[in-house]
Structure formats: structure tokens, C-alpha cells
Chains A and B, each alone.
Chain A
């Protein structure tokens, strides 16, 4: 990398409480895709399209699939901005919390039960993800 490119690199921002909230907001958008995916999977059925019967999901299911795509699209846009402004190690450490948010949605929206071993497993995975991304710049 030459000196000119180096100087053109944007200055990384300091991580403030507000920036953590912003990063987590984008992570929440990302976890929304899992929620949509799960709901879409519950709309199994067939649709009629141009005289053909397609098996798999109903129109409602495709609606949720579309919403999942929207979540991922919005997340991609937000994420692109975030990785521009913060160190990757910080950003990925924050993204690791996606598992925690999904756990929360699984309980609140789908009535799933979280057992103590689930929590232990999630904590270990969190540390693992942070370690893997610790050197990312």
C-alpha cells in the first residue's frame, strides 16, 4: 500500500455508547432475517403462477422471504458504513452478539426454552468469535 492510499484511509472513530447502540441496531436488523426465515418456513404450501402450481411456500411465505431479503439488504448497507468507520475487531466483537439477540427472539417470539447449557454454549461461542476476530483491522 502506498503512502497516498494510506493517507486516504478514513480515520477510525472512537467507540462511544451511541456508536455501540448503532452497531447493535444493525446487528438486530441482521437477526431479523432469522426471524423472517423461521416464520417463512411455517407457511408451507403451493402457489399458482402463470398457470403452474409451484410447491414449497405460500404467497405469505414468499412475503416473509422477501422481508428476510430486505433485512439482509438493509444490514449490508448499514454494515458497509460501520466497517468503514470502526476497527474490524471491534465491529466483529459486536456482531458476535447476534447470537444473543436471536436467543432473545427465540424466547419472546417463538416460545423456545433456553436451558443453562444453552447459555454456557453461547458464552463460549461468543468468546471464540471475539478471539477469531481479535486481530482484524
Chain B
């Protein structure tokens, strides 16, 4: 659940960033456009999935750790959608995040 939730949240962030990068006629259209509305809708769906995950007995400490996987997704999706370079630091950082989550769950 948390894996799906953080994946949805990462995709939502891409939509929000795409919208933020575009020129808008006025302040209202900055917030009321399909990318922002769907982006926040996806974030809300991710939030509901989090509640479902916790409802299945997932501990708060584990849920928040799983959410850090969002950082890994953001790096990958930013490269896919915006061609943001994946630097050595980002690769090492992502490896550490995944390793940290695995070690956390070994406890």
C-alpha cells in the first residue's frame, strides 16, 4: 500500500511541477488547471491508501520509512519527464535509501 502510495505521490509531483513550469494567465489558473487538480487528487488517493495500509496493521514507523522511497521515484521520474540529470550523488543517495529501508525492515 505504501509503495503504491509513494509512487502515486511521486507521479503527482511531476504533474504539479509540469504545471508550475508553464505560463499561466492569472493566479487562479495557476491552481485551477487539470494538472494541479489531478495532481492533488492523486495525492489525496495516496493519502487514503496510507490509511488503508495503517488499517492493515502497518506500524507508523514502518509507514513513514516506506514513504521515503518517494525520493527514489522522484529522481527517476524527474529524469524521465524533465531530463534532470541523474548524478553520482543521486545514485548513491538512492542506493542508501533503499539499503536503509531494507536494514530497517530486518529489525
Q: CA A114 – CA B60 in complex, angstroms?
A: 11
| Chain A positions 1-49 with a Cβ under 8 Å from a chain B Cβ | 31, 33-35, 37-38, 40-42, 44
Given A110-B59, A132-B89 in contact, is the A124-B103 Cβ separation under 8 Å? yes
- Interface size band for B: 35 or more
Nearest CB of B to A63, in Å: 13
Which secondary structure dominates chain B's binding surface?
helix
Encoded as 1 (CB less than 8 Å from any B CB) or 0, chain A from 80 to 113 comes to 0000000000000000001100110110011010
B89–A135 touching, CB < 8 Å: yes
When distances are taken between beta carbons in the complex, the residues of chain B under 8 Å from A124 are 96-97, 99-100, 103
On whether the beta carbons of A38 and B63 are closer than 8 Å, the reply is yes
Q: How far, in Å, is A99 (CB) from chain B's closest CB? A: 6
Q: Does A123 contact B (CB under 8 A)?
A: yes
Q: B51, A131: Cβ atoms under 8 Å?
A: no
Tell me if A118 and B107 are in contact (CB < 8 A): yes
Q: Which residues of B contact A (CB under 8 A)?
A: 43-44, 47-48, 50-55, 59-61, 63-65, 67-68, 71-72, 75, 87, 89-90, 92-107
What are 16 A-to-B residue pairs whose CB atoms are below 8 Å? A31-B64, A34-B64, A35-B60, A37-B47, A37-B63, A102-B60, A103-B61, A117-B107, A118-B107, A120-B103, A121-B107, A128-B93, A128-B95, A128-B97, A132-B72, A132-B89
